[in-house]
A and B are shown apart, each in its own frame.
Chain A
Amino acid sequence: MKETQAGVDVKRYRLVRNVVAVWLTGMIVAAFVRDIPRLSILEHTARNLYFHVPMWFTMMAAAFVSAYHSLQVLRTGDLLRDIRALQAARVGFAFGLLGLATGIVWARFTWYVGTSIWWNFDPRQTMAAVQLLIYGAYFVLRTAIDEPHRRARMAAVYNLFAASTVPFLLYIVPRQMPSLHPGAEGNPAFSETDLAPAMRPIFYAAVLGFLGLFWVLYTQRVRLARLKHRLQGDPEY
């Protein structure tokens, strides 16, 4: 495959980066400026949906990319795949933190308004925190092993093992716990009550924009990590 040998296609990277920059700027301006329907309680906080939800989609996509490359590490033993799995996890971690932060702040002033609650053990919130812990453990495990091939393989095993428990957090636990999140207890997510039709175009644009931003940051970091290894005179990268 061309990409695994040459690392990252720089021309394509620049093109995507410029498109994503313009796209995101437009989307953020539209998210704040365009009028939205006033739903009870939500009012203007509904704009948070443009940022919070795409952050989560992006984190899940990053987790998927990371797990895919971990699988490839086990199959081929290619160290570049290990770099890819690590960088996807890192960027995903950043998006996860942002998603958690936007969620906590938003919930504080809507769901829990009038109380002093910041954290209420909503299943999805718990799941998000656990996903961040899993990545934390993944990074810690990497620091404990020095030999690159062994580190790549052990980290990949942990990543895939952790990925196998995520469906429990995503699909089983949320259905056994009470939740205020849309999508719990059988009510569909993105129904009329939480995503007004007028908001859909910008929401979809935001999802695409943040996924694009993930791709830009991820490829950038892969290139950077690869250059670092090369500067250290590592012949395998």
Chain B
Amino acid sequence: MNWLYGTWAVFEKDLRLELRSRYAVSMLLLFVLSSLLLVAFGLGPVTVSPRVQSALLWVVILFSAAVGLGRAFISEEERGTVLLLRLNTRGSMVYAGKLLFNFLLVLGVNLVALGAFILLLRVAVQAPGLLLATLVLGALGLAGATTLLAALIARAANRGPLLPVLLFPLLVPLLLSVVSATRAALPGGNGWREAGDELTTLFGFAGVVITVSVLLFDHVWNE
């Protein structure tokens, strides 16, 4: 099978299943919105500094991703469709298809989270383009790191809270860069000039994580 065609087929299958049940989307959105509301209520009418604002935004996004993205492979195990998928496609197609789906999912949720965050925490954005670039690169790194680990925990017995435990230590470099880049886009930041290094780091992180995932994925996928 053509590699691109196989990747697209896996992606399309996941998208259709998602549109049918809307399980992952509604779970992620509700998680993000309720935790942002909690943050907003916790802070009350206090306006916090841009540094704190960007840290809060990304912690909420990271937690929601860790809760929601683990489903990608667990649902295959639960429905018993792993064997069929393994027979009909190569490992790299499955990985790429799932990565694409997870990336779009995280990106969509990030955009909604950003909107809610701007409204609830009274954030003024200075460089919208930079913020958007940060969001896209951050989502790419996040999805890249999560997809392989999701396949990994689908093989474990007690999988409930396992994903956050495995994921968060690996995301520290991502979190540090993404928070700095977001802060540069908020008032008081220097915009693109300040965030150049951070964006390069994010790009490199996503690249390394996805490359290593492709190399390791077959060991997780094939028994």
Contacts and interface: CB of A to CB of B under 8 A. Distances in A.
A177 B176 CA distance: 10
Nearest to A157: B216
A162 B223 CA distance: 22
The binding surface of chain A is classed by DSSP as: helix
Contacts of B40: none
Nearest to B176: A173
Interface stretch (A26-34, A83-91, A134-142, A222-230): A134-142
Contacts of A176: 176-177, 180, 197-198, 201
B118 interface: no
Interface in A138-191: 140-141, 144-146, 150, 153-154, 156-158, 160-162, 164-165, 167-169, 172-173, 176-177
Contacts of B212: 160-161, 164
B188 interface: no
B162 A144 contact: yes
Interface in A66-116: 74
B208 A164 contact: yes
B17 to A, nearest CB: 25
Given A154-B156, A158-B166, A161-B213, A173 B219 contact: no
Contacts of B209: 161, 164-165
A125 interface: no
Interface stretch (B1-9, B57-65, B106-114, B147-155): B147-155
Nearest to B216: A157
Interface residues of B, number: 34
A47 to B, nearest CB: 31
Interface-centre pick from A74, A144, A146 (highest chain B CB count, 10 A) = A144
Interface in B159-197: 159, 162, 165-166, 168-170, 172-173, 176-177, 180, 197
A133 interface: yes
Interface residues of A, number: 30
Contacts, number: 91
B173 A157 contact: no
A178 B126 CA distance: 25
Contact of A137 (B169, B201, B220): B169
Contacts of A164: 208-209, 212
Given A153-B219, A160-B216, A161-B212, A145 B173 contact: no
B103 interface: no
A126 interface: yes
A168 B141 CA distance: 13
B31 interface: no
B170 A165 contact: yes
A134 B201 contact: no
A165 B216 CA distance: 14
B215 to A, nearest CB: 9
Nearest to A146: B157
Nearest to B172: A130
Contacts of B101: none
A134 B155 CA distance: 19
Interface of A: 74, 126, 130, 133-134, 136-137, 140-141, 144-146, 150, 153-154, 156-158, 160-162, 164-165, 167-169, 172-173, 176-177
Given A161-B213, A164-B212, 4 more contacts: A144-B162, A161-B212, A162-B170, A176-B197
